[in-house]
Structure 1
Amino acid sequence: MSTAVRASAFTEPTRPKGLLIRFVTTGGSYVDVTGHGEHFDNNSWNCLGCGDSSRSPEKDYLFRIRPDANNHATACRAIPLT
């Protein structure tokens, strides 16, 4: 059984303002990292599949948010509902 992520069979949703990174989840949804960028502490992530997100009111520097968003995308099996 392969665990490789395949290209999503779903339509990519509209990209939000301030999108810095978009990860594809194992289930074919997306995790968006948004904010003002590398040198700002107001970045956060949100999963469009299961609805999980960075812990409120946690907003942080990109180098701290990125690994959490990537780890979530790797583990999340939720599929887009739209």
Structure 2
Amino acid sequence: MNTATRTAFTEPDRPGDLLIRFITVGGSYVDVTGPGEHFDTNRWNCHGCGASPQLVQGDFLFSIRLDANDHATACRAIPLT
């Protein structure tokens, strides 16, 4: 018998500059925010573990999308709030 309990986490508020939101393996969220596709100021941030990209430049949406998705696929941190 499986006695594990699954907890549903509340989705955090969506920032005005949200471009993409991924759900992590742990049930948290990774947000990609910024001005849009052709800007190097886009960023991602994980609501579970707090990780974010270390690079300051080169975060165009086509590349940051892959990094954020890879993180969401591996992150097992759960939301603490």
TM range (shorter): 0.7 to 0.9
Larger radius of gyration: 2
Q: Distance in 1 between matches of 2:21 and 2:62?
A: 15
Percent identical across equivalent pairs? 72
Does 1:54 pair with 2:49?
no
Give the unaligned 5+ runs of structure 1.
1-7
Please say which of residues 22-31 and 47-56 is displaced more in the overlay. 47-56
**Cα pair 2:40 2:57 within 8 Å, conserved:** no
Partner SS for 1:66: helix
Change (3 A) 1:61 1:9: same
State the Cα RMSD in Å.
1.4
Amino acid at match of 1:22: R
Aligned to 2:12: 13
**Cα pair 1:44 1:59 within 8 Å, conserved:** no
Structure 2 length as normaliser, TM-score?
0.86
Shift of the alpha carbon at 1:56? 4.7
CA deviation map 1:7-38 (0-9, x unaligned): x7101010112000000000000000000111
Point out 4+ residue stretches in structure 1 off by more than 4 angstroms. none
Q: Distance in 2 between matches of 1:10 and 1:60?
A: 29
Q: Distance in 2 between matches of 1:9 and 1:77?
A: 15
Q: Distance in 1 between matches of 2:57 and 2:30?
A: 16
